[in-house]
Structure 1
């Protein structure tokens, strides 16, 4: 699949999908409390998405059983919601979810601090979010994909954290994952030249310790190999001539 340039009509639909997803994340951030299960968060997410007359992007995607990936502490991404997994004071919880609005996708992730968390956890969440913004300074026509990737890595590593190598961002449109893959670390090639109308999901995944990760036996949940905390921040963006438009904020 080639990298698609979206028409004005497609961009309008993706804007709407992004707006809805931003509202879903806002509501989830208010909802999550210590003592609830990750399954309760997932159910709330699905209810919100369907309440906006959208379809949850993740539900049954390649067999994934939830509408919201709920990843706690050392879980990097793709944590499966469970009635047995309880959220506790001091946890950090990454929520990654997406909506389909009239056939068009939006994808975004946020990491929440639950109650009073450690200073390291606070800093990790902050740096992860800031690295996204450092990367998208280069998300405009005429730059290359690798400019985004390099900026994210440099920002994260300057703060003493590490960027996950085994998972990447991606193009997005009528499909959740489209070309191109978008690493959060420097590549040898400059990569794709950016053009107005391209839509991407940019998503730094940042570990407090080493960047190595492993998959649990459920084949979905990715955890840090050294047990360190991990944070995730993602938005769907549109490339324009003047710079990026963040669709899911």
Structure 2
């Protein structure tokens, strides 16, 4: 059974927590802004614990493990990947009570978009999730759009050099594929970085962008190098935590 002693040494940091059975089976995986506060709530939130499934989970949990993350956004993404991998029985039994969001990347298009949906379709797009929080999934989308100039417009893109790009292009929030300001190969390379981030491969993306930044600097394209450096710093700030550990 979950006890106070299991909670006392948990950090007040964002991350993912694991409830384990006596045999070591992962019963439940959750995310938290504060690991200590969230896990402690299972002991003191009587309203929550009156719900039968939660009550049984608390009774069956004999160990708590955790993994610290850089932010609650990273915890959200990690939680979804771990649940998909481990399929804990209490996550499976609880997921039917809510309508969970997915992140969809329309890789079936030449210039994909990144959006939130609530159902996976057989349309050759890439889907990530489901995630446990719509609010934080929206925040992930917003962060990705701040880091990467992904298009947000609707419809199929047909690049036309004479087309006048929208205001997002002038704000450097979109590469304007509609106006042929970026080719398909370069845009796809950016989308592949987004996919790597959603798969947790932050360091791979940073290494790649660092190489590109250095090449741009050598070629004296300093504005482009500065933009890549800013992208690297944003990824590090939101998604990378150098002392990630699990106990």
TM-score (norm 2): 0.30
**Higher helix fraction: Structure 1 or Structure 2?**
2
Could you say which structure has the larger radius of gyration? Answer: 2
**Higher strand fraction: Structure 1 or Structure 2?**
1
TM-score (norm 1): 0.29
Q: 1 or 2 for the larger relative contact order (CA 8 Å, sep ≥6)?
A: 1
